[in-house]
Structure 1
């Protein structure tokens, strides 16, 4: 992998006349408000108004991608006790799981499109899909309609928005990159808190449909901010990148990194989806506070996403993520013994804090060993609950897979540093 260079000169468009072979160059400068590329130089700004505006814009994208997904535990509770009460928890959780799958999978397509300079198209099309999906969800009365609107439509939209939210920051920050990314990913926690509270407050008063429409309008407002201020700093890549970068899989650190992310994403959303239904039958029966556990989790996750980003500058992002994963796994195993109201609240708070690094640190870990920055399971839980009638299987499953993630990260650490026991990674 080679470093991508920065070029201060305005972008050049070459026009070739095939009839007479005359080659002319037309210089253009995209300094107007709607431009996707801003003027850059060889030194990353690492601050300044324009750089911090990119943090704000990316924060808004995380608010409406991971933040929206982190709210699904509220929907899981509502659907199980309401319109989809006749369906299994596993079937209901497929709505959120498809959404989370598409959020990550669509990046295979949106990544190359971003590299080619289509930032504006990704932001606009992704925003339209998210807002349209929210409005269609407000009209849904059947399961298949929710799959199309909430799972597929919103999932596709968030997938188009996710890559720009993490790809822009490394173009503006180096020394403060961990802090900037920590602020960006805290948008998912803030969005999760906000959307959870809005849903629980408005749904009993104005109904499901109008509550979702209000959230859709909030998404439209925050996504419009992102569209207005986000700008690439680097010129688009001139070569077309393949959808599957096979040479990357010859690198051991990248293989361990992918394995760690795979296992963490399989397990992470299980507690997010099921902590509220679990609490309603284990210590918080009939209590309103149970409906706010997802909001509590996301609120604590704000600090949990900022603190690891600061620690990463001292001990390294791999070590920090490993500590975060191990603490999260221990917390999930502790969930097994949680049978009281305060126990459930405590679990939500600790899980939110320790799991914050699972969302905040992966982009930082990847950029820490990737020189070329241009190359950048929850239905199982429902099935376990359905077949056993107990949450114990869900808790053991989530905790075990999270610990498997820790093993993958440990392998990544030694792949990067060799046999050194005390080092920064």
Structure 2
């Protein structure tokens, strides 16, 4: 039997004091910026690894793909634990694992390539970021009630703030003669301070009324089963649509910088293109949830999904000049940011009538999408061989993201029938 849903405009009738919600939102933004945001900037490492270790761009793509795969795959167990009331434990353990990954990456200079970079960065940092990401998004719905869509947008923007700032730090350090370990040391300092402040901010408010929403569930209380979600048609359309979208979106984040270098562009500019791509997503994260309150979350989410493949297909090919690349990165980044920030809010609109199921709903969908992140690298590598760029772009834009957008449209139509309103 499908889960029963309620009107998204009547989610939670009460909210904790506004100061509690704002403090937790600030904590979420800091935590996501310094963990998932750092993981999301992995494209900037591609050129560093290939130059220092004389390996191919395709081989290096596995590092970023595995890291992003684990960040999303861990979302399911992390989301389920959040729904059980283990939010603070997830936050603390995930932060420690992430910092440990950065620490070992910094000090283990003599290790072999796959031990130093692949295992340490991909596994530890991916798992640590995943334990923080979904719980901090889900907690916003618990605390903000009917204003959770803008709150989730602000929290999600941390993903792209980190993806903007950390590549700039790496580029400036390396450009000024620093070795790789020194640049990682600076990133580690920012990450450690950010996570420490985030933990302090959250614990400071943990004695308030807001903490009542985050207490562990009573023993024996039933959570929504995965079977209920797997048999719910609109939910599965969104989850599978996310799988197809991830096949397309991450191509730009992993391979845009190497492709820019292949066009003969300046190496400093190539370093900054990931920051431009992520920086353009920040206003998308902030503005689209605000507009969604008037236009409908599902409506704007679906429209953003259709814009992404159009921009990738039509703007990437003429983006051979610096101005063309910047225009492409700005447009694509904005709508990617809109899509990312509205995805959690879509699950709030579809959430089960029980109050604390959002972590499981988001976690399962993100875990499904993680398959695309991992399998995208071998697909791109085959399509790129030997030098063809149009084939992976055609796959990403047409076969992947357009299919995902169509599935989102189908989910919207199913929800219109269920809810009896066009304002979703």
Q: Would you say same fold, with TM above 0.5?
A: yes
| Correspondence 1:362-381 to 2 at 5 A | 362-370=343-351, 371-376=353-358, 377=373, 378-381=376-379
Q: Please state whether the residue corresponding to 1:280 is helix, strand or coil.
A: helix
More helix by share: 2
| From 178, 189, 192, the counterpart of 1:206 | 178
* Partner residue, 2:364: none
Offset, 1:69:
2.4
- More off after superposition, 150-159 vs 385-394: 385-394
Alignment CA distance shift 1:359-1:142 (3 Å): farther
Q: Which runs of 4 or more aligned residues in structure 1 lie more than 6 Å from their structure 2 counterparts after TM superposition?
A: 240-244, 419-422
* Partner residue, 1:416: 415
Alignment CA distance shift 1:85-1:346 (3 Å): farther
Paired residues of 2:13 and 2:145 also in contact (CA < 8 A): no
* Partner residue, 1:298: 278
Q: Please state whether the residue corresponding to 2:179 is helix, strand or coil.
A: helix
* TM-score normalised over the length of structure 2: 0.85
Q: What is the CA–CA distance in structure 2 between the aligned matches of 1:155 and 1:307, rounded to whole Å?
A: 28
Q: Please state whether the residue corresponding to 1:337 is helix, strand or coil.
A: coil
| From 71, 81, 94, the counterpart of 2:41 | 71
Paired residues of 1:317 and 1:365 also in contact (CA < 8 A): yes
Q: What is the CA–CA distance in structure 2 between the aligned matches of 1:129 and 1:419, rounded to whole Å?
A: 42
Offset, 1:233:
4.1
* Partner residue, 2:322: 341
Q: Please state whether the residue corresponding to 1:338 is helix, strand or coil.
A: coil
Offset, 1:386:
4.9
Q: What is the CA–CA distance in structure 1 between the aligned matches of 2:62 and 2:231, rounded to whole Å?
A: 33
For residues 340-385 of structure 1, give each alpha carbon's deviation from its aligned partner in whole angstroms, at most 9, with x where no partner exists: 1211111111111111122101110001011334222331354135
| Correspondence 1:324-335 to 2 at 5 A | 324-334=304-314, 335=316
**2:250 aligned with 1:269:** yes
* TM-score normalised over the length of structure 1: 0.85
* Partner residue, 2:81: 113
**2:144 aligned with 1:173:** yes
Offset, 1:167:
1.5
Structure 2's unaligned 5+ residue stretches are 7-11, 359-372
* Partner residue, 2:19: 49
| From 392, 399, 422, the counterpart of 2:397 | 399
Structure 1's unaligned 5+ residue stretches are 5-40
| From 382, 385, 390, the counterpart of 2:388 | 390
* Partner residue, 1:93: 61
For residues 297-331 of structure 1, give each alpha carbon's deviation from its aligned partner in whole angstroms, at most 9, with x where no partner exists: 11111101111111111121111111111111111
| From 288, 311, 321, the counterpart of 2:291 | 311
* Partner residue, 1:22: none
Offset, 1:245:
0.9
Q: What is the CA–CA distance in structure 1 between the aligned matches of 2:173 and 2:20, rounded to whole Å?
A: 36
**2:64 aligned with 1:84:** no
Paired residues of 1:102 and 1:159 also in contact (CA < 8 A): yes
Q: Please state whether the residue corresponding to 2:90 is helix, strand or coil.
A: helix
| From 147, 156, 164, the counterpart of 2:118 | 147
* Partner residue, 2:363: none
Q: What is the CA–CA distance in structure 1 between the aligned matches of 2:4 and 2:413, rounded to whole Å?
A: 23
Q: Structure with the greater relative contact order (CA < 8 A, sep ≥ 6): 1 or 2?
A: 2
Paired residues of 2:101 and 2:121 also in contact (CA < 8 A): yes
Q: What is the CA–CA distance in structure 2 between the aligned matches of 1:163 and 1:241, rounded to whole Å?
A: 21
Alignment CA distance shift 1:92-1:2 (3 Å): same
Q: What is the CA–CA distance in structure 1 between the aligned matches of 2:112 and 2:421, rounded to whole Å?
A: 56
Q: What is the CA–CA distance in structure 2 between the aligned matches of 1:85 and 1:418, rounded to whole Å?
A: 56
**2:175 aligned with 1:193:** no
Paired residues of 1:111 and 1:163 also in contact (CA < 8 A): yes
* Partner residue, 1:35: none
Offset, 1:179:
1.5
